[in-house]
Amino acid sequence: MQKHSRKLLVVISEAAIERSLVADARKLGAHGYTLSEVRGGGASGDHEGDWDIDRSIQLQLVCSEEVAERIAEHVLAQYAKHYRVAVYLTDVQVFRADKF
Amino acid sequence: MPIDPVVLFFLLGLGARLARSDLRLPEPVYETLSIYLLLAIGLKGGAELARQSAGEIVPMALTAIALSAVIPLILYPALRRCCRLARADAASIAAHYGSVSVVTFAVAQSTIARSGLQAEPQLAVLVALMEAPGIIVGIALAKLDDIRNVRWGKLAHETLFGKAVYLLLGGIAIGALIGPEGLEPMKPLFGDLFKGVLALFLLEMGLVAGSRLPDLRRAGLALVAFGIIAPLFLAAIGLAAGLALGLSTGGIAIFATLCASASYIAAPTAMRIAVPEANPALSIGVALAVTFPFNVTIGIPLYLATARWFG
């Protein structure tokens, strides 16, 4: 079966900005997204997610390298200064090129 | 008067965090409990409201909205000078105190009922009315230089249609439409179970307050002192306003509690979105780990005793 190279962009951030993140990703060319609630910790301490403001989300986007970089750049410029943000990128292979 | 049983659940949760217990309420449970509480408070207030004439609430409502908007203006300079906070942090904390705490209101209602007093049912409407003005004034304070770029439409949408205000007002509207008779079939869920659910919610609040205690070390002594002095000062304003409005003794105590309480559902989310440069650990730390425990253990009985003294 033929496979196509794409990028998986993962953004972990605060639930408070979930809607803005999804809207921005859509606007910058993401065709779809997967969102999950996560828990974890980092420089800002542990975030157990037991209070609205403490909740964290993980946004996964499979897209072309160009779109992934555009979104990553925007998210870091727009949100990283004041919100907890972690962004990383990995290579993935997809089966349906037109979907991503 | 002995301590309200629901407060013991708060202490139980707090103790669990301090003892590093693995106790944890799953997030969907907390979410369900908070939806239940908001609806139950709204329905009860709305059903009682159906018996009143609509005009009676106008002076109370206007006073409540005005107080919620003025409180941040009073607290902001104090936070800037005495606690030496940055503008965004001072404005954010001031907004939390301008807005109100639904659970503190529920504990006050329960305390009033236990002491055999009645309170005006309209007070439930005031909880909904006092959520938003403080938040809006707080954001305006934080963004004084940049006020034109604040997206007020989006902000109004976030506060009015956020779950706290939406469910409270929705519950009040349904309660007022169906009246006490209409509410009767739902009483086993929304009436009889209320106290038990409130106890569970306070267990969760204890857990969260406990996990916020380390934030207080960073916040400093001045802010911790603020968390105790501010509710006392605000309760005095509330008592005076309640007396001027001619409320019953129970009503005065609840109104004072509303003024003294700080929001931790609507305000933190709204401030996080609108004023991202404010450190949420400071505002939630002082509202949840200082003022909330102070109000439910010492504040409410004190406000009630003072209201009795005046009444």
List pLDDT tens digits, range A16-25.
999 999 999 9
pLDDT of residue B1: 58
pLDDT confidence bin for A70, thresholds 50/70/90: very high
| pLDDT over threshold 80, residue A48 | no
Chain B partners within 8 Å of A17 (Cβ): 272-273
pLDDT of residue B161: 84
pLDDT of residue A68: 97
Residues 6+ apart with CB under 8 A from B249: B117, B304, B307, B308, B310, B311
Sign of CA dihedral B259, B264, B269, B275: positive
Chain A: residue nearest B284 by CA? A53
Average pLDDT over residues A27-43: 92
pLDDT confidence bin for A51, thresholds 50/70/90: confident
Average pLDDT over residues A62-72: 97
Chain B partners within 8 Å of A57 (Cβ): none
Chain B partners within 8 Å of A48 (Cβ): 24, 211
DSSP string, B124-162: HHHHHHTTHHHHHHHHHHHTGGGGGG--HHHHHHHHHSS
Question: Is residue B30 less than 8 Å (CB to CB) from chain A?
Answer: yes
Nearest to B207 among A14, A17, A50 (CB): A50
pLDDT in tens, B69-118: 999 999 999 999 999 999 999 999 999 999 999 999 999 999 999 999 98
pLDDT of residue B247: 94
Nearest Cα to Cα of residue B249 among B140, B116, B133, B155: B116
Question: Is residue B143 less than 8 Å (CB to CB) from chain A?
Answer: no
Quote the distance between the C-alpha of residue B293 and its chain's center: 12
d(CA A52, CA A15): 8
Q: Is the ipTM of this complex over 0.85?
A: no
pLDDT of residue A12: 97
d(CA A48, CA A63): 30
Exposure of B240 by Cβ count < 10 A (0-12 exposed, 13-18 middle, 19+ buried)?
A: middle
Mean pLDDT across chain A:
92
Exposure of A3 by Cβ count < 10 A (0-12 exposed, 13-18 middle, 19+ buried)?
A: exposed
Residues 6+ apart with CB under 8 A from B44: B121, B124, B175, B183, B190, B191, B194
pLDDT of residue B220: 87
pLDDT of residue B137: 93
Which two three-digit tokens encode residue B105? 């209101």
| pLDDT over threshold 80, residue A45 | no
Nearest to B208 among A14, A17, A51 (CB): A51
Listed as ranges, residues in chain B with pLDDT below 50 are none
Q: Which residues pair with residue A4 across a beta bridge?
A: A94
Sign of CA dihedral B125, B141, A22, A18: negative
CA angle (B200, B119, B6) in 5-degree steps: 20
